[in-house]
Each structure stands twice: as C-alpha cells, then as structure tokens.
C-alpha cells in the first residue's frame, strides 16, 4: 500500500494524497474526506524511511548509555522514553559500557540520517568525535557528562555532597568517613572535594584513614562490589570505625552494608550512612540518600534536544540539577519512613 494506491482509488494525484496525509490546509474538505476514507479502508501506513529520506528527518533519537549496568541510567532512560513517546519520536538505544565501545559505536554505527540527534550518557566525549558532531551539525546533548561545545544536563555533585555531609553533621556525628568510587571519575572527585571542604568549613577533622577510594574498577567503582570490597578491606585493617559514612552511591552503600553485616555491624546502630542517587532499590534498604531527579533529567535532556533540533544556532546551555536529601533510616532517624514511600 503506497500513496499511489490510495491516489488511484481516490481518483486524485499523489501530491494531493500527501497533502492530506500531512494536514496541508490547501485541500478541499470534500477531497480530503475522500482521501482519508480510502486511506483508512486500505489501512495505509506511511513508509518511515521514504518519509525520512524525503523529509530529511527521522523523528528518532539515539541514546548511548553505559547499558543497564547501573540502575541510575534505567531511571533516566525512563524519563527519556516517556517524553519521546509523547511527541511521537522513536528511541534507539546503544549500549556502550566502556570508552572503547563508545568510540567503536561512534566510528561504525553513526550512519547518516538515522537519527535526528543523540543523547550521550555519562561517557566522556572524545575530542575527535566532538569535532565530527560539530562539523556534521549532528545535535548532541550530554547527560551526566560535560563538553563545552554541547548542551549538557548535570548534577551538582558539590552541592549534593555538601548537603549530605551537613546532614550527618547536623545529626551530631563528628567522626565521618567517605566511601568513594574511583578517583578517576569526575563525580567521585567532585563529591570527595566537597565532602572535605564541608567538613573543613564546619571545623571537623577529615581523617585520611577514613577516606576509602574504591580500587574495584567495575563501573568506575560505582558498584555493589566496590562498596563491599572497600568496606571489607577497611574492616580488615582493624581501624576503629567512624560513626558515619558518606558513600558516593546507593549501590556501593548496599555492598557496604553486606560487608558490615558479615562483621555483625548494623546500620544505623553501629554506623550511619548517607549515600547518593536514590535509585529505586534504595528504599528497600532504607537508605538516607541524595536523590538525583533521574526521570526529570531524562525528560529535560529530550526537551533540550528537541529545542536544539528546532534551533541549531541557539546558545549552548548547561544546566545543573541539585540533589535533594531523602531521609530514611540509615542515619538513625525516621525508621518507618519507607512505609509510605512507594513512589
């Protein structure tokens, strides 16, 4: 079934059919009706590629993400998907767990015309590709990563770590440690600096032996394994435990809790924890954490992209989300908070 078929049946030209299908105003109601009726009867579906070729537009976006290795992305993707569905765009997903896979994808799969724009999540954009995107005028929006030449959506790690630390301080904790992800990751760096700075501002000593920088590199240290190993190793060293820990992600906190449990240590009785992200399962563990508005980030990323497509020469924007504190019971308060927390 093509527009030729419906043109023949409706006794009009293909141009008219196309106009009707695209809601052009310059068609008589009478002709329009005739065409619409036939189209419906023939159960006509436009051919996406033919449209794309003629329109020079695909109505689809591509999301390149460290695929499913982290619950964080799943929730951001949810925001992306729903926003896109609402405007009738399709979503192509490409997994790239490492920088190498990213480059591989960028090298091979970036066929022209396939997508109207791409969303890059949490992966560093290599400079040589930045140039390609610019040169080919291929819209790119970065989420949880940054490059001066493109729009980006980020989380304010500094402010988030500050709030988390101050919350711990406000509860009276004074010996506070930090279980961090790999220092090679920018968010890990920012969260650590801010933690130290905040402690300093409040005249509380930061003790180096209480700073655990993960050596497990899975997911840049943002993994359950990294949290588990970090804490297990710490306990093995036999140092006296601080009274609280700021942990760089929920998933690490979950691993850390497992390590603590094996040593018969309880949260929050023996040690308080405030972590980062508020992934969906954080509530199952009653984690007090800094919530990142993941769904909203996905939604905003799409909106930014749509704007960028509309107006390629608009000034580049970089917007920051500030995490908010979600209090559950891992710091010793609101033990039953989770009960009503089914969002």
What single string gives the DSSP state of each residue in 262-292?
Answer: HTT--TTTT-EEEEEE--GGGGGGT-EEEE-
Q: How far is the CB of 78 from a copy of itself (least distance, A)?
A: 5
Contact residue for DNA among 23, 54, 240, 342 (CB under 7 A): 54
Q: Show the site string, 55-94: x = touches DNA by CB under 7 A, - = not.
A: xx--------------------------------------
Q: Is 18 one of the binding residues for DNA (CB under 7 A)?
A: yes
Q: How far is CA 235 from CA 41, 207, 263, 265, 342, in A?
A: 72, 16, 8, 10, 34
Residues 6+ apart with CB under 8 A from 44: 1, 3, 5, 6
Instruction: Give the closest residue to 139 by CA, choosing from 157, 127, 147, 151.
Output: 151
Among DNA, a copy of itself, none, partner that 224 touches (CB below 5 to 8 angstroms by kind): a copy of itself
- Contact residues for a copy of itself (CB under 8 A)? 1, 43, 45-53, 58, 60, 67-68, 74-75, 77-78, 81-82, 85, 88, 90-95, 108-114, 132, 224-225, 254, 258, 262, 281, 284-285, 336, 338-339, 342
Strand bridging mode 211-213 / 176-180: parallel
Q: Could you tell me which stretch among 11-19, 117-125, 218-226, 229-237 binds DNA (CB under 7 A)?
A: 11-19
Residues paired with 61 in a beta bridge: 91, 117
Q: Least separation, in Å, of the C-beta of 51 and DNA?
A: 4
Q: Which positions ≥6 away from 216 have C-beta within 8 Å?
A: 223, 225, 226, 229, 230
In the bound state with DNA, the residue whose beta carbon lies nearer, of 55 and 207, is 55
Q: How far is the CB of 90 from a copy of itself (least distance, A)?
A: 5
Cβ(193)–Cβ(246) below 8 Å: no
Residue 13 interface partner, choices a copy of itself, DNA, none, CB cut-off 5-8 Å depending on type: DNA
Does 14 bind DNA (CB under 7 A)? Our answer is yes
Query: Which of helix, strand or coil describes residue 61?
Result: strand
């Amino acid at each position: 079934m093509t527009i030729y078929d419906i043109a023949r049946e409706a006794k009009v030209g293909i141009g008219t059919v196309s106009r009707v299908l695209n809601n052009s105003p310059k068609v008589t109601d009478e002709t329009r009706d005739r065409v619409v009726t036939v189209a419906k009867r023939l159960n006509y579906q436009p051919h996406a590629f033919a449209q794309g070729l003629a329109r020079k537009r695909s109505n689809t976006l591509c999301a390149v993400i460290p695929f499913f290795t982290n619950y964080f992305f799943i929730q951001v993707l949810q925001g992306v998907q729903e926003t896109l569905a609402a405007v009738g765009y399709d979503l192509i997903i490409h997994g790239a767990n490492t920088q190498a896979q990213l480059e591989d994808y960028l090298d091979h799969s970036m066929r022209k015309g396939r997508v109207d724009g791409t969303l890059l999540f949490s992966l560093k954009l290599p400079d040589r590709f930045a140039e390609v995107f610019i040169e080919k005028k291929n819209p790119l929006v970065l989420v949880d990563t940054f490059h001066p030449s493109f729009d980006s959506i980020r989380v304010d790690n500094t402010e988030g770590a500050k709030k988390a630390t101050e919350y711990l301080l406000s509860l009276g904790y004074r010996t506070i440690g930090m279980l961090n992800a790999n220092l090679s990751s920018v968010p890990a760096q920012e969260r650590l600096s801010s933690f130290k700075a905040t402690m300093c501002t409040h005249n509380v000593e930061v003790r180096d032996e209480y700073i655990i920088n993960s050596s497990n590199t899975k997911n840049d240290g943002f993994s359950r394994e990294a949290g588990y190993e970090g804490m297990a190793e710490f306990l093995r060293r036999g140092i006296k435990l601080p009274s609280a820990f700021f942990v760089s992600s929920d998933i690490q906190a979950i691993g850390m809790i497992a390590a603590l449990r094996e040593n018969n240590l309880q949260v929050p009785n023996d040690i308080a924890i405030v972590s980062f992200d508020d992934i969906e399962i954080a509530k199952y563990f009653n984690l007090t954490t800094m919530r990142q508005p993941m769904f909203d980030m996905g939604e905003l990323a799409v909106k930014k992209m749509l704007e960028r497509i509309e107006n390629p020469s608009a000034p580049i924007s970089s917007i920051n989300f500030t995490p908010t504190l979600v209090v559950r019971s891992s710091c010793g308060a609101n033990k039953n908070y989770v009960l009503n927390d089914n969002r």
